[in-house]
Amino acid sequence: MTRIVNVADAQRRARRTLPRALFDYIEGGADDEVTLAENERAFQEVALRPRMGIDVGEPGIATTVLGTPLALPVFLAPCGMAQLAHPDGAVGVARAASAAGTIAVLSKIALCSPEEVARRSPGPNWFQVNSAGGRDEVKHLMARAADAGFTGLVVTMDGPPPGNHERDVRHGMVPPVRLTPRFAARLATQIATRPQWLGAMTVAARRQTATIKDATRVLSSGGLRTSARFTWSDIEWIRNEWPGSLLVKGVLTGADAVAARDAGADAVIVSNHGGRALDGAPSTLSVLPEIVDAVGTSTEVLIDGGIRRAGCVVKALSLGARAVFIGRPWVYGLAAAGQPGVERIIEIFRAEMVRTLKLMGCPDVSALNPNWLQPMRPYQGQLPETAAGSVL
C-alpha cells in the first residue's frame, strides 16, 4: 500500500491490472469526453486562500449528512460492475467505507446484492436505483434494500439513455452485447495479458461464476436504453414508498434542485455522471454555487465529478457542498489491491484533508466558505518592470 501515494498511483496500477475493456469502462466518458475533462479542470482553476499566523492544531474534518455522522465528508459513489474489478467487490468497498467512518453507495448493477452487502458489512449502507425496468422494478429493489437495512436511497436522474461511450463501443461492450465467437476471442486475449486479475478472479471462482453470469445478464439487456426517464412525479412516488433518506442525483441547475426538493428529496447530488451522460454539460463545480443559492438551507447539497485530491473536497465544501462523492478513485484502489486498496484511497483523502486545512489555517470544515477561495489567475494587469526593463 505504501506504493499508492495518491489517486494517480492507484489509477496506474488499475490500468496494469484490469483487462483493457474493463479499465476503459471505468475510465471513459461520453463522446469526446469534454465534460469528463472539465470536471477536473474546474477544480484546477480555483485557488485556496491560506491564512497566516494561525495554529489550528488538529483540524476537524468530521461532519453530519442527513443526520448521519461521518468521520470525513467523502462518500463512495455507486459504480456499476464493481464486482469485476476485484473479488472483494462491493462488500469490500462497503467494509472499507464503514471502517473509515463513511458510507459506500451500492449500485443496482454492482453485481452484488444488497442482502449480501448488509450481511457481510457493518454499515450504514445506501443503495442506488435508476429508471430501468420501470416502477415495478424500482419498487422491488427499494423493498429489498429497505428489508436489508439500507438507510439511504440515491436516485439517478441523468439517464436513460446512457451516454455514448465510444471506448465501450470499440470493445463491443455496449448493451445489448452479442456474445459472438469474435467478441469472446477478443476479450479472451485481453484477459490473458492480465494474469494478476485473472488469478484473483479464479481464486474466488465460485462467487465469480455468479458475478460473470450477472454481468452477462446486464450487458445483454437493453433495458437502460429503452426505459422511460424518471420524472418529478416519479420522485414523489419514490418518496412515498421509501422510508429512509432520499437523494436525487444528476442535478445541474438551480431550478432542478428546487424541483427535487419540492418532490420530496432530502438532498441533491450535483452530478453529470462523471462525464458519462451528456457530453458538453457543465462541470459540477461550476454550477454548485447556483444550486446552493437556489435551495438555501432547506436541502443538503452534495457533489461528485473530478474529485481527485482533498483540495478538491475543500473547494467544494467552501462553495456550499455538505460533502462529496468519489467514484473512479475508489474503483482504482479496488482494482489495485481489493478492500485494502479502497481503505488506502480513503486514508489518502483523510490525511490530505487534515494537511490542507492545517496549511490553510482553517480549524474545521464547518468554517469553510467562499472567502477561502479565489480564481487561480485573478490578476490581468501589467506586471511591474525593473529599471532595466525586465519583468520581475
Which residues touch 195 (CB under 8 Å, ≥6 apart)? Answer: none
- At 106 the three-state DSSP class reads strand
Q: Where are the alpha helices (DSSP H) in the chain?
A: 7-17, 20-27, 34-44, 89-100, 114-120, 134-147, 166-171, 181-192, 195-203, 205-220, 223-226, 232-241, 254-262, 284-295, 310-318, 328-337, 339-360
Percent helix, percent strand, percent coil in the chain, to nearest 5: 50, 15, 40
Which of 349, 371, 350 is CA-nearest to residue 360? 371
Strands 323-326 and 74-76 turn out to be parallel
Q: Which of 86, 165, 171, 273 is catalytic?
A: 273
Contact indicator for 208, 84 with CB cutoff of 8 Å: no
Rounded to an integer, what distance in angstroms lies between the CA atom of residue 95 and that of residue 293?
A: 35
Name residue 298's amino acid: S
Rounded to an integer, what distance in angstroms lies between the CA atom of residue 228 and that of residue 160?
A: 7
Half-sphere exposure at residue 16, Cβ-oriented, CA atoms within 13 angstroms: 9
Contact indicator for 75, 326 with CB cutoff of 8 Å: yes
Half-sphere exposure at residue 294, Cβ-oriented, CA atoms within 13 angstroms: 21
Here the cell at position 379 is: 490578476
The question of whether 171 is a catalytic residue gets the answer: no
| Kind plus residue range of the DSSP H or E element containing 264 | none
Instruction: Give the residue numbers annotated as catalytic, written as ranges.
Output: 273
